[in-house]
Chains A and B, each alone.
Chain A
Amino acid sequence: MSAGVGTVPGRRAEFVEATVAWARRNTWTLGLIGLLIVFLALTKMLQPNYGAPGIQGLAISILPIAFAAVAQAIVVISGGIDLSVGPMMALASVTSAVLMKDQGDPFGVAVVVGVLLLGIAVGAINGALVVITKVPDIVVTLATSFVWAGTALLILNTPGGGAAPWLMAIISGPLGNPWLPKALVVLAVVVAVVWIPLRRSTFGLALYAVGSHPLAAFRSGIAVGPTKIVAYALTGFFSALGGLALTATGGVGAPVPGSYTLQSVAAIVLGGVSLAGGRGGVLGPIIAVIVLALVRTDLFFAGVDPNWSTAVQGAILIGVVMFGSLVAMRKVRA
């Protein structure tokens, strides 16, 4: 860079330098990709005929949690946390299932759009409550998690309703190549179309700025409150996508949210998003979701009692976070 003469060795050095810098910035994600490859290899070793169908099943089963992880990642990057992700998913799932039951495709599309708008509205309410009342985000979203879960139960008391056939078709099966599951393509396309432009926009910068230092962001002229509300609205949007994925994978609406909130928090922490805010992305959490799912698959293939998988998942979560904080402490000392 300092040479700037444009000789070939100079350019190569520049390239290497840039790559090293990029790798240093994304060490965590690269490590996760390595972990993912290790676990894929392990799966293949344990179950030699694990192939395209296995990958397709995996892609469908992770879809709701992957959306939940993206949702949680965005709000945590903005310096908050949303404990109502699971209930928001349930709300979206039951709303879509009740409205879509025995309806035609055009109506189904309208329902999907409506549910996504509902997600944005619900998320914005979370954000507005956090900003206006100044109550800590954990308390606000804990409380609204009751509210959304209750509303979902009011709409649909037991699993029921139905999903439009096209919605189920859009995520099941492969796209051309049997190794390329549609569910993975849907996930990649939706996240890329919504997140990447946002990340690169002024709003994206504001999001990270608010997460790393709200006061500094405020003094740089960023509207901190509105940025937070938009972050929560985005979380609601992705939670609604997760709810739609629940409806699509199950074929019915699921009124009980399950442990998606906890799983989303686990995934973002494994995915390298700092709970202090301002650091991380959405790729890491998605890979973390896949790794966690593979751990469960591998335990199953290895003949381990499925009950162990919860304990192992928790142990991995704790182990990785402890490792991460040890690394951070070393850095501070050095």
Chain B
Amino acid sequence: MTGGATGKAAAPRIPSLTGGGWRRVIRDRPLIPLVILLVVLIAVLEFAKPGIVNGGWVATTIRAAIPLAILAACQTLAMLTGGIDLSVGAVASMAAFLLATLATGQGPVVALVVALVAAAIAGLVTGIGIGVFKVHPLIMTLGMSLVVLGLMSVYQLLMVRSGTLIPDQIQWLGSGISFGFVPNNIVVFAPVALLIVVGLRRSGYGRLLFAVGDNPVAARLAGARIWQVLVALYVLSAILAGIAGILIAGLSNTATVSLVEQSVLPSVAAAVIGGTSIMGGRGGYSGTIVGALILTVLTTLLTVLEMPEAVRQVLFGAIIVAVAAAYTRVIGET
């Protein structure tokens, strides 16, 4: 049904696609409709509660969106290769928890290094499973998140006496706001975002990610060592998750073994809304950033409207399906 029908239907549709109009805009410049959606949401928010949109609001919104955007970066990179990383929640929580428990005895620098190295090791195992043993990314990251969560629960019992402490520097970084409207965590986010956005377009590795996702066989025949690309990808993803976890710990001033678990599905949602295809080979990070902002503003809006958490979940789900369906329709891929 899918194969034959779309093959015929796509041919006459091409003139209308290239002929201009909103379809072309969405296809070639997906950022424009996303930013319009973001502005509309902000306008609705201002309308719902006049005066809420000001410098302080902008700062808190960006501050809340940044950890989500970093987690969504993991999803974007993995999805470009046709994968998905469901272990970001466990890995990010692990980094935050390690940091908080080790900071009291070892000092913040050692704790930070240990946390990120542990995240990288988890990513290495995931990457070897997916790249070398060719385990399905969904299963591998799922299994890895169980392993990490389990190990952390055991570790938690061992460390029950030491207690947790979020170092002051991390709190400043995660929750501080400078000059009244600049969240401090942008110090971390700006270089990361720049590196990913530019790296995906200009670097050889970035192009390899697209190539592997678009057509693995062609990528292999062209000489790409797919397993190396994938191992590097999941290590990078785990380190990014670790950074996000530490920022979230700084923001909330707590660290538990399941701190970040609830952000896993929103991170996938942000990447999908941002226009990255889960089938691989299409997407980019700038859309994901706007996607994370949209989700954050939407959360605020629903809170302002005093919607219960349940309604928020239902709306989140509906929006993801609607946006994903719109992309599929406009771009015409199956």
**A110-151 to B contact mask, C-beta < 8 Å, 1/0:** 000000000000000000010001111011101111110111
Q: Which chain B residue shows the least CB distance to A265? A: B142
Which residues of A lie under 8 Å from residue B36 when comparing CB positions?
A: none
- Beyond A136-B278, A317-B139, whether A311 also contacts B317 by CB under 8 A is no
A317 and B1 contact, CB distance less than 8 A = no
A150 and B334 contact, CB distance less than 8 A = no
Tell whether B4 is near chain A: CB-to-CB under 8 Å.
yes
A150 and B150 contact, CB distance less than 8 A = no
Bound-state CA distance A157–B309 (Å) is: 10
Q: Which of A287-334 contact B (CB under 8 A)?
A: 305, 307-315, 317-318, 321-322, 325-326, 329
Total interface residues on B, CB under 8 Å, equals 53
B325 and A133 contact, CB distance less than 8 A = yes
Tell whether B11 is near chain A: CB-to-CB under 8 Å.
no
Which one of A81, A143, A275, A321 has the highest number of Cβ atoms from chain B below 10 Å of its Cβ?
Answer: A143
Partner pick for B328 among A134, A143, A315, A325, CB 8 A cutoff? A134
A257 to chain B, nearest CB (A): 11
Bound-state CA distance A312–B145 (Å) is: 12
Bound-state CA distance A12–B64 (Å) is: 72
Which residues of A lie under 8 Å from residue B3 when comparing CB positions?
A: 214-215, 218
B154 and A150 contact, CB distance less than 8 A = no
Which residues of A lie under 8 Å from residue B148 when comparing CB positions?
A: 314
Bound-state CA distance A147–B315 (Å) is: 7
A309 and B150 contact, CB distance less than 8 A = yes
Q: Which chain B residue shows the least CB distance to A222? A: B1
- Beyond A151-B314, A265-B142, whether A134 also contacts B2 by CB under 8 A is yes
Q: Which of B142-158 contact A (CB under 8 A)?
A: 142-151, 153-154, 156-157
Which residues of A lie under 8 Å from residue B144 when comparing CB positions?
A: 314, 318
Stretch at the interface among B111-119, B130-138, B212-220: B130-138
- Secondary structure of the B contact surface, majority rule: helix
Bound-state CA distance A116–B145 (Å) is: 32
- Beyond A135-B325, A145-B265, A154-B310, whether A308 also contacts B150 by CB under 8 A is yes
Bound-state CA distance A312–B150 (Å) is: 8
B268 and A142 contact, CB distance less than 8 A = yes
Which residues of B lie under 8 Å from residue A265 when comparing CB positions?
A: 138-139, 142
Which residues of B lie under 8 Å from residue A143 when comparing CB positions?
A: 269, 316-321, 324
Tell whether A225 is near chain B: CB-to-CB under 8 Å.
yes
B312 and A317 contact, CB distance less than 8 A = no
Tell whether B92 is near chain A: CB-to-CB under 8 Å.
no
Tell whether A230 is near chain B: CB-to-CB under 8 Å.
no
Bound-state CA distance A150–B310 (Å) is: 4
Which residues of B lie under 8 Å from residue A219 when comparing CB positions?
A: 4
Bound-state CA distance A153–B321 (Å) is: 20
Which one of B84, B135, B269 has the highest number of Cβ atoms from chain A below 10 Å of its Cβ?
Answer: B135
Q: Which of B263-284 contact A (CB under 8 A)?
A: 265, 268-269, 272, 277-279
B268 to chain A, nearest CB (A): 6
Partner pick for B1 among A223, A266, A307, CB 8 A cutoff? A223
A147 and B146 contact, CB distance less than 8 A = no
A136 and B1 contact, CB distance less than 8 A = no
Bound-state CA distance A291–B171 (Å) is: 44
Tell whether B51 is near chain A: CB-to-CB under 8 Å.
no
Bound-state CA distance A139–B318 (Å) is: 11
A307 and B313 contact, CB distance less than 8 A = no
Q: Which chain B residue shows the least CB distance to A81? A: B138
Tell whether A269 is near chain B: CB-to-CB under 8 Å.
yes
Bound-state CA distance A269–B148 (Å) is: 19
Which residues of A lie under 8 Å from residue B319 when comparing CB positions?
A: 143
B315 to chain A, nearest CB (A): 8
Tell whether A262 is near chain B: CB-to-CB under 8 Å.
yes
B153 and A225 contact, CB distance less than 8 A = no
A129 and B142 contact, CB distance less than 8 A = no
A314 and B324 contact, CB distance less than 8 A = no
Tell whether A224 is near chain B: CB-to-CB under 8 Å.
yes
B280 to chain A, nearest CB (A): 10
A314 and B139 contact, CB distance less than 8 A = no
B328 and A133 contact, CB distance less than 8 A = yes
A150 and B313 contact, CB distance less than 8 A = yes
Q: Which chain B residue shows the least CB distance to A259? A: B146
A153 and B309 contact, CB distance less than 8 A = yes
Q: Which chain A residue shows the least CB distance to B313? A: A150
A146 and B147 contact, CB distance less than 8 A = no
Q: Which chain B residue shows the least CB distance to A218? A: B1
Tell whether B311 is near chain A: CB-to-CB under 8 Å.
yes
Q: Which of B285-331 contact A (CB under 8 A)?
A: 308-321, 324-325, 328-329
Which 3 pairs from chain A and chain B are nearest by CB? A311-B150, A314-B146, A146-B317
Q: Which residues of A contact B (CB under 8 A)?
A: 81, 129, 133-136, 138-140, 142-147, 149-154, 157, 214-215, 218-219, 223-225, 262, 265-266, 269, 275, 305, 307-315, 317-318, 321-322, 325-326, 329
Contacts A135-B324, A146-B320 aside, 4 further interface pairs with beta carbons under 8 A come to: A143-B269, A144-B317, A154-B310, A314-B143
A-B contact pairs, 15 of them (CB 8 A): A133-B325, A134-B325, A138-B278, A142-B269, A142-B320, A143-B317, A146-B320, A153-B313, A154-B310, A154-B311, A157-B310, A224-B2, A311-B147, A318-B139, A321-B129
